[in-house]
Structure 1
Amino acid sequence: MLLYLARTTYHCWAHLAEAVREGRSQYLKAFGVPSEELFTAIYRSEDERLQFMRGLQDVWGVDGRSVLSAFDLSSFPVICDLGGCSGALAKECVSLYPGCRVTVFDIPEVVQTAKMHFPLPEGARIRFCEGDFFKDPLPEADLYILARILHDWRDEKCAHLLERVYRACKPGGGVLVVEGLLDADGRGPLTAQLWSLNMLVQTEGRERTPAQYCELLGAAGFGTVCCRRTRGLYHAVLATRGPPAPCSPRSLVPFN
Structure 2
Amino acid sequence: MMMYYSHNNYKSWHFLPEAIREGKPQYERAFGISSKDIFEALYRSEDQMKSFMGFMDSIWNICGKDVIAAFDLSVFSTVYDLGGCSGGLAKQFVSVYPESTVTILDLPKVVQTAKKLFITDEKHRIAFHEGDFFNDPIPEADLFIIARISHTWTEEKCSQLLNKIYKSCKPGGGLLLVEVLLNEDKSGPLTSQLCSLNMLVHADGKERTPSEYSKLLTASGFKDIQVKATGKIYDAILGRK
Structure 1 and Structure 2 fold alike (TM over 0.5): yes
C-alpha distance in structure 1 between counterparts of 2:204 and 2:26, whole Å: 10
Corresponding position of 1:140: 140
1:183, distance to aligned residue in structure 2 (A): 0.2
User: CA offsets, 1:167-209, max 9 Å, x none?
Assistant: 0011111100000100000110000000000101111100000
Structure 2 counterparts to residues 1-16 of structure 1, below 5 A: 1-16=1-16
Equivalent residue of 2:134, what SS? coil
Corresponding position of 1:98: 98
C-alpha distance in structure 2 between counterparts of 1:22 and 1:108, whole Å: 34
1:39 to 2:33 alignment? no
Structure 2 counterparts to residues 96-135 of structure 1, below 5 A: 96-135=96-135
Moved more, 112-121 or 92-101: 112-121
1:23 to 2:20 alignment? no
C-alpha distance in structure 2 between counterparts of 1:186 and 1:13, whole Å: 21
User: CA offsets, 1:100-159, max 9 Å, x none?
Assistant: 000000011111111121133332210111111112111221000000000000000000
Corresponding position of 1:75: 75
Structure 2 counterparts to residues 49-88 of structure 1, below 5 A: 49-88=49-88
1:162, distance to aligned residue in structure 2 (A): 0.3
Are 2:87 and 2:119, in contact at CA under 8 Å, matched by a contact in 1?
no
What runs of 5+ residues in structure 1 fail to find an aligned partner? 242-256
Corresponding position of 1:48: 48
Are 2:178 and 2:236, in contact at CA under 8 Å, matched by a contact in 1?
yes
User: CA offsets, 1:51-94, max 9 Å, x none?
Assistant: 11001101000100000000000000110000000111111111
- After superposition, the CA RMSD in angstroms is 0.9
Corresponding position of 1:175: 175
C-alpha distance in structure 1 between counterparts of 2:45 and 2:25, whole Å: 18
- Higher strand content, 1 or 2: 2
Corresponding position of 2:212: 212
Moved more, 60-69 or 32-41: 32-41
Count how many residue pairs are aligned between Structure 1 and Structure 2. Answer: 241
User: CA offsets, 1:233-256, max 9 Å, x none?
Assistant: 100000001xxxxxxxxxxxxxxx
Structure 2 counterparts to residues 216-255 of structure 1, below 5 A: 216-241=216-241
